[in-house]
Structure formats: structure tokens, C-alpha cells
Amino acid sequence: MSQPAPRISVIVPAYGVAHLVGDALRSLLAQSFTDWEAIVIDDGSPDDVAGACAPFAGDPRVRVMLTDNGGVAIARNRAIAAARAPYLALLDGDDEFEPDYLATMVEAIEQHPDIGFVTCDATYTGLRDRAGKRFSSFHAQGGEVTLARVMRQEFHIIAGSMMRRAAFDAIGGYDSTLRSVEDLDLWVRILAAGWRAVWLDRPLVRYRRRPGSLSMDAMTMISCAYEVYEKLIVTLAGRPEETVAREMLSRSVAIRRWIEGQALVNGGDVSRGLDMMRDNDDRSLRWRLAMPLMRMFPGLAAPLLRLRQHLPPPSRG
């Protein structure tokens, strides 16, 4: 006899985090809300995710899926296809939930049937520069969650959010072609389809930042963001938000040129690198004044770039 479906399916992609996924699962076992299932998907991980999950094998709520490597968007789509609940909570294998995460989030999403997803604040763990600080201290949150605000990055949505399965299915799931910012793409497509979103001003997720993690790869992120906004121009044709999509596409081009220019400067091609960087209108007056100085004294360019780190923020923290 099959078991009744749980109210929440927790999706846990766990590529390369065998040493951390146990902490993520322990944070689930500590939840005050207990009617959940967890689907851990190792996505062809090079480390022993299945072995790391073995201590939890006695809990029938925890399942492990072993698949070939396809990237996080494909991994989440595969896990969600196997999920049974009407609500989907996203827990990356290196993050953790606070004990009242599930109870708080499911109460919020059940307030109205047109709420497509609920998001919240988070507390950083990992790298010392942000450990213990709130996500909202570095990335704008607060106020109404609208399509235009999310597109403009005036409101940042953490990966560890909860969505309605019906909203996920209605927009066709994650875009499996994206190597990064697949979350941003998902949220804006849900909002563009007419679903509402709710933000809770509480840090209910412990969000780990690690050296070398995909969320810190600026070039991959901005290239994928370009693809997201390019798609939105088509999707939002004739709507007021189309202007926002075009604005953000132009910004993505400028940031990509900045990153490419900085790489050229660091490689010794200072003149060509500065040519690529000079058109970025996000620079401060101080930076614009420094540009001719670097042209006059090319040996200063790379050290100044390393010192100032003048790179506009990508779409995730």
C-alpha cells in the first residue's frame, strides 16, 4: 500500500558537497514541521553523496537519487519529477534550514492560492567576510515582490525558497540550458505568468558561501543573466516590463564587457582592456578620473583593479 503524499517535498541537489549534505539533512530532521519528504539528488557527483546520506537511510522520508551529471537545473527538474507534495522547498546540499523554516513557509504559502512562491532572508555561513550576517545586508530585499523589482535586482530572492508545485509545472520547470542563475530565471517566469510572491522578513536559511562555488563565478552568472533577459524580451513583448528586460539586457552586456576588459588588463593588454571597460556607466566619478591615470601609467592598472574590485554585483550572492 502506497504511503500518503506529504505536504512538502524538499529538493536537495548535492553535487560535490558530500562533506556538508549531512548537516543539511540534520537541519531537516530538526524541523518543527514533520510532514515532509526529502529527495537528495547527487547529479553524478565526484564524491560519495550516497555514503554521506547512509546514516539517514532509516528515515523513510529521505530518498537519494543517483543520476548522471546534468547540472543543477536538470538535477532539480529530475528530483521534482519524483516529488509527491503540493509544495516544494529548495535546500541546496551545502545550506541548512532553521528549525521553523518549513512550518513558517508553508503557513505563508497557504494563505492564498495565487501565491506561487514564498521567500525569506538568510544568514551567511562559510567565508569569514559575511559569516553571521544577513543576506539582506548585502542584497536588496523588503517591500513588494514584483516582476519588475526582481528583474532590476531591486529585490533578491534566495535559492532556499518554497514554491507551489502548480506554479512550477505551469511554467515548465527550470530551464535546463542555463548553467547559472537558473533560480532568477525560474522566479521571473513564475511572476511573469501572473503568480504572486511573498517575502518573510526572517532569516530562515543558513546560506553557505564557499570559495570556487558557482554562485561566485561572475562571468558564468552574467552570461546566463544575459540569456534570461533576452528570453524575457520575447515573453514580455507589449507589456510594461519589456522595457525593464531591455534595460537589464543592456546592463548585462556592459558588465560582461567589464569582466572581459579586466581579464585583458590582468593579462597585460591594458589599452584594449580599458577600452572595453570605459563605457560602463555604473562607474563612480573617482573611477572615471582614475581611467586616464591608468592609461598614462599602465603598470598601475592591474593593481588598482585588484584594490578597488570595481565589478557590479551579479544576480546572486
* pLDDT tier for residue 310 given thresholds of 50, 70 and 90: very low
Backbone Cα Rg of the chain = 21
Percent of the chain with pLDDT over 70: 91
**pLDDT of res. 308:** 58
* pLDDT tier for residue 211 given thresholds of 50, 70 and 90: low
**pLDDT of res. 282:** 52
Judged by phi (left if over 0) then psi (alpha if -120 to 50, else beta), residue 142 lies in: left
Other beta carbons within 10 angstroms of residue 150's beta carbon come to: 23
CATH architecture observed for domain 8-216: Alpha-Beta Complex (3.90)
Decide: 40 and 59 in contact? Cβ < 8 Å.
Answer: no
**pLDDT of res. 256:** 85
* pLDDT tier for residue 78 given thresholds of 50, 70 and 90: very high
Judged by phi (left if over 0) then psi (alpha if -120 to 50, else beta), residue 88 lies in: beta
pLDDT, greater one: 95 or 301:
95
The mean of the pLDDT values for the chain is: 89
**Per-residue pLDDT at 283 exceeds 60:** no
**Per-residue pLDDT at 317 exceeds 50:** no
* pLDDT tier for residue 316 given thresholds of 50, 70 and 90: very low
**Per-residue pLDDT at 118 exceeds 50:** yes
**pLDDT of res. 275:** 75
Domain boundaries, the chain: 8-216, 220-307
* pLDDT tier for residue 87 given thresholds of 50, 70 and 90: very high
The whole-model pTM stands at 0.86
211: CB partners within 8 A, 6+ apart: 127
SS3 187: helix
